[in-house]
Structure 1
């Protein structure tokens, strides 16, 4: 490659500055020249995926650890394969950039009948599809490409939402001034906004309440504001809860942290804090059906002070126009109100002791809580894993995520691998069902190629259990093929020294497998967990009933 500085180099320098050291994706002829610019760098690595959907999931998991990620697809066939994963990122505010290699400007202007199109001369339809989904879109052009890249980078940085960038092949090698590289930090210099009026209104409303509680959502993690909220809670002795959509980089060992709230189906002691509150301070949250027990939250708009990135309201009334989310949260951190609240009494979860009993979901969930250490990130697939594990309190330093809003089955396996790539110093623990795993199982090959060492718990309970509970307990459409997971690693290229496979059916076997996996830090460990077809977490059973009612 030439030593000249090209547009591709500038784009990758921006991506690198934003925190993406690894780029996911699948090669296609419209992006191959661009991929050369990745693979020829010494400070960046190309991570080729089995398919584009997995790439989008993996980028999502990477961004949840690093704060940003990038993946590359080719025009049409590649981007449409990935659009489901990118949609999940927009639903749950995950900052991911998709770069799409596209035909040249002249081919598109001429409407040539080239491959990866519908053969109808229309090159805009895929871009329009992404715009329709509310995804930020930029199609690079020769005259304004640098400004377009800067604009999309600034958008992702400020909103923590995904974006989509189209790179025509004729612009890949376009020469640009190398001095532009020095200006990259200036893209992210955000002017501080004063929020005096809105802050005073919010603080006054909280000060006038008698029994406030704080309920945190996903934006707390995305904007890295937990420490500020924690300080506000400490200064004023306000009880703190989180939602399943937002449970993650939050210290659940914090002395004022009560637990994870899930509407009426939460633990009684957690519910009591919300039931007795006269004001719920909802920070960076979406009250979705999956994390409110099917919309059974015990508070209404008239009881809520709602603070999020886009807007804020006090008991249903919008706050002053000078509102700035981050600024208000930081101001609250330094605020001592006139509240007189008793010490928060936190529930202590009791440990379980294994026996030779057959494994049940409830025991598995509590055993996982004991197993997860401060150096683990627990990833839970939507279904039995998420609903059983989201309510478990995490030890100090431990992290957690799932995808309860978008809820695309198969997401968790590649997302867990992406998360592991983002931080090799932590060990990812995945809990997934065999039904979900079959959708994205292809990237076991990537896991072994990249020498990843997560612990993968595969719950084998004969099918789509979450769907069975909602409808069709014994219907064949909820059955899945029964795979031999002991053979999977070798089928995807693993050597004997790369992995361990453990099959468990009893409580004692599960504890033994967990202990063994902890000592096998140099291996990817697959633990097949066999449980009954109708055995489900209590929170899933209750939420599924609400889902079933919604579908009538």
Structure 2
């Protein structure tokens, strides 16, 4: 029987499900394992500058490709990645964390090895990861290893959460049957319980037939768990108005005539707030009701008729249907609607949905937050990937109108400052694998940039061409607005951003820009060559220190109140 190494088996399985890049950092316990990447055609090693950036990059990659892989070394390497892994867990992002660990005999003999806690315990880091992954495993038997790997990949892929596996440094070289690779990993979701699903579907149809002021509210997990097409079909069948949350932005086509804007509780536009909150039926799809996603928990529904669709349960009012997954349930509801008469007569969308068009009247002056985010609506193209950092960027971008097919990436729930830059690099890896014309566009603050700036080096290393827009407004704006407006701890060391690319790259195939005025930004964004992703570009945008999106100012006040315990 033909055999291959366990390491080659793992890399081949990843390639089979669409993973074309493996992120991570080499270390002595994973070096032999990494030798086998080259045995899998067209699988590349990203070679990140540090493990935290590798984890963030894997997160961004997964949000485009559906799954990702990161490989680190035992202890020191894996712990450096844990913040990024935890964020992926919180935000429903599927990936596998492969850790090269000491040999089985070293663990058995409790050797006092480097990268350990000097106490003979080798399972400490695995135990840590159990809290931030859906499933963990420590391989110790070559005969069972392939099945464990297949199960981990399946679990992480279908449930969109990180999984973790330790591969002892000697075990990756051991041989396993190659024939197992001929059977693809089953990536289909387990079926819903037929009786419970039938009852749930009928309950929803009954409510839909009676509703006169219904709506659909789309949130993050509609994107993560791949039900965007179901949402579109549901809207086509009902003509219901559609609202998105901050985390759900890009989950529904904003060019659709039924798109009604972004709902953020008390921070919503007044007409958006009024129209949604007066609904008599809300179909909530993929909700993640965190503070920054709900305007600090200020949702004010005037109805008890809320139907919740989730990846692992569904709910009608107070009745919870455990184990009923939204994908299959939505498909059956949409099918059932073909024979249903609706009481709903489509209503006009809120006027504020088109407010972004007013920016065309602005032709001169310094760049403001309001101008920047509305004008971005005209720079974006269909199928762009746009990554926004937590804070000014993630709040400001809610004012932007997305063309069809845009994928938005932000970490609104976990909210780790510094996430967006390496995430955009991970997304750029994924975009590069899909189409050389696919653009990845980052918006981040100059303070956030300093936390993970080495990710620029990762992009140069593999000849990627993202756009890095760096908002320079003299420090940590979101923190200043929450608390400490003039405090020294919210200030940062100033950098010369125009020299950054030269630090990380020894060639001149990149472009630097510094823009301060409306005229400069309009000229740049209208330049046909600038619009083509042919090289890496870093664009520094100069903004006033305390200029901020209105919704961020409102959120900051609410957050300060919550943080003070009032």
TM-score by length of 1: 0.95
Cα distance in 2 for residues equivalent to 1:234 and 1:184: 35
Q: Deviations over 1:422-448 (max 9, x none)?
A: 012210111100000011111211211
The CA deviation at 1:203 is 2.1
| Distance of aligned partners of 1:133 and 1:520 in 2 relative to their CA distance in 1, 3 Å threshold | closer
Counterpart residue number, 2:359: 352
Any residues of structure 2 matched to 1:145-294 within 5 Å, and which?
Answer: 145-185=145-185, 187-193=186-192, 194=194, 195-294=197-296
Counterpart residue number, 1:101: 100
Q: Deviations over 1:7-65 (max 9, x none)?
A: 11221121112211010100001000110111343220011000000000000000010
Aligned partner (choices 518, 529, 549) of residue 507 of structure 1: 518
The CA deviation at 1:509 is 1.1
Counterpart residue number, 2:409: 401
The CA deviation at 1:402 is 0.6
The CA deviation at 1:191 is 4.8
Counterpart residue number, 2:429: 421
The CA deviation at 1:311 is 1.4
Cα distance in 2 for residues equivalent to 1:265 and 1:74: 44
The CA deviation at 1:404 is 0.3
The CA deviation at 1:520 is 5.1
Q: Deviations over 1:211-251 (max 9, x none)?
A: 22111112211222111121112211211111111223532
| Distance of aligned partners of 1:452 and 1:235 in 2 relative to their CA distance in 1, 3 Å threshold | same
Q: Does 1:458 align with 2:491?
A: no
Q: Aligned Cα RMSD in Å?
A: 1.7
Contact 1:38 1:46 in 2 (8 A): yes
| Distance of aligned partners of 1:284 and 1:375 in 2 relative to their CA distance in 1, 3 Å threshold | closer
Cα distance in 1 for residues equivalent to 2:255 and 2:110: 59
Q: Does 1:343 align with 2:343?
A: no
Contact 2:280 2:302 in 1 (8 A): no
The CA deviation at 1:190 is 4.5
Cα distance in 1 for residues equivalent to 2:127 and 2:302: 37
Any residues of structure 2 matched to 1:303-382 within 5 Å, and which?
Answer: 303-319=305-321, 323-336=324-337, 337-346=340-349, 347-349=353-355, 350-353=357-360, 354-382=362-390
The CA deviation at 1:528 is 0.6
The CA deviation at 1:134 is 4.8
Aligned partner (choices 507, 516, 536) of residue 495 of structure 1: 507
| Distance of aligned partners of 1:283 and 1:5 in 2 relative to their CA distance in 1, 3 Å threshold | same
Counterpart residue number, 1:13: 12
Q: Which region of structure 1 is more displaced relative to structure 2, 463-472 or 323-332?
A: 323-332
Q: Deviations over 1:359-417 (max 9, x none)?
A: 11111111112211114211100010000002422111222111000000111011011
Gaps of 5+ in 2: none
The CA deviation at 1:273 is 2.2
| Distance of aligned partners of 1:39 and 1:351 in 2 relative to their CA distance in 1, 3 Å threshold | farther
Cα distance in 2 for residues equivalent to 1:374 and 1:121: 55
